[in-house]
Amino acid sequence: MAIFVTGATGLVGGHVVNYLLQQTDILVNSADEIICLVRNPSKATELKQLGVKMIHGDLSNIPILNKIFNDYSIKYVFHIAACVSVYASFEEMFQTNVIGTKNLLEAFSRSSARSFIHTSSIIVYDHHHLRKRNTIVKFTESSPIGPKQRGKDIPYAVSKRIGEDLVVEFAKRYPDKSFLITRLGPIIGKGDRQMIPSLVKAFALPLPKLINKGLGQISLTAPLDVARAQVFLVKNGNSYSGQAFNIAKERWNFRQLFNVVAEYYNRPPPKISIPLWLFRLFKPFLHLIKIIWSKSEFIQTLLSSSALEYMEYSYEYDAQKLKNLGFQFTTDIKNCILKGLQAYDPEKLMVSKRIKRKEIN
């Protein structure tokens, strides 16, 4: 019996592999029963240490995918790989998130494997039409999905929506197998390439950090809880084939988030806030900065579409459907943020350097 994992060199995939080796819900006799598709072996040092089997390849490589299902007796597939880069074009997103997903679904469907867990995102919901100012908008699995046409939304959102449709289509075509969709909320923790870097970069800037007193809220989840939830669904979700489950733990506001960053750097928490009306006035200018500095990792991370959205609107992603099956979120978010900060800036140089320079001046 083997388990096939894609995206194992990433934030979520790394946690899923680690958790698979610790848990007892699904049988794993030894680390080499976990088969990981790895694009770049130089990024896989942690996986090597764990002793899992690594197969060099990409989701576009159909022969490799077929060979994996032929060579190993795969029972479960955790499809976590995706193009999530803030720089990627629609074509790149489509190639991995749609064509890559289709290649994997086809290889899985031809095999004797039983269970396919697809990793999607809460980005699929129609935030644009449902958002309301000064209120928390709640999304359940039956909330409306956003547009699926190129150009009607950011490429990542469109590609994740089409990817989900493929999973639903395969679930209908192959009723003997289980296909589950997990819609992950924003994840924060060790290895996070978006939330933690954005918070630290914003904190280091000599500008007001808070918009509307930092009251904008975001549903956060620990990567370990995502791994726990996906394994839980493999065991408990088989009668829900073709359905989606939100995975999101709890709401945090930006003031709370910056307070944890301030605590990590041993600095006073930010106090100065920009009123919402002023932020809205500046928003077109921020979009212009993003276009002008389209090659700057700093600007693209700091002003990512989701970062700008979350500063202005508050969303909650309801995971009651998952909880109704008996799942409980157990990982402490503050701890995760501190671990993420420790991994991202262990020497605490990113903030103190700037402040020291200011103090010298």
Ligand X SMILES: NC(=O)c1ccc[n+]([C@@H]2O[C@H](COP(=O)([O-])OP(=O)(O)OC[C@H]3O[C@@H](n4cnc5c(N)ncnc54)[C@H](OP(=O)(O)O)[C@@H]3O)[C@@H](O)[C@H]2O)c1
Q: Do residues 317 and 183 touch, judged by C-beta distance below 8 A?
A: yes
Contact between 6 and ligand X per CB under 6 A: yes
Q: How far apart are CA 16 and CA 279, in angstroms?
A: 38
In three-state form (DSSP H/G/I as H, E/B as E, the rest C), the secondary structure along 253-317 is: EHHHHHHHHHHHCCCCCCCCEECHHHHHHHHHHHHHHHHHCCCCHHHHHHCCHHHHHHHHCEEEE
Q: Do residues 34 and 53 touch, judged by C-beta distance below 8 A?
A: yes
Contact between 340 and ligand X per CB under 6 A: no
Min separation Cβ 181 and ligand X, Å: 11
Min separation Cβ 338 and ligand X, Å: 18
Which of 166, 187, 202, 204 binds ligand X (CB under 6 A)? It is 187
Contact between 218 and ligand X per CB under 6 A: no
Which of 77, 83, 157, 180 binds ligand X (CB under 6 A)? It is 83
Which of 59, 124, 222, 229 binds ligand X (CB under 6 A)? It is 59
Q: How far apart are CA 247 and CA 151, in angstroms?
A: 27
* H helix or E strand, kind and range, residue 41: none
Which of 2, 4, 9, 224 binds ligand X (CB under 6 A)? It is 9
Which residue is at the shortest CB distance from ligand X?
10
Decide: helix, strand or coil at residue 135: coil
Task: Give me the 107-146 binding string for ligand X, x by CB under 6 A, dash otherwise.
Answer: ------------x-x-------------------------
Min separation Cβ 301 and ligand X, Å: 13
Q: Which two tokens stand for residue 254?
A: 């930006």
Contact between 157 and ligand X per CB under 6 A: no
Contact between 186 and ligand X per CB under 6 A: yes
Contact between 58 and ligand X per CB under 6 A: yes
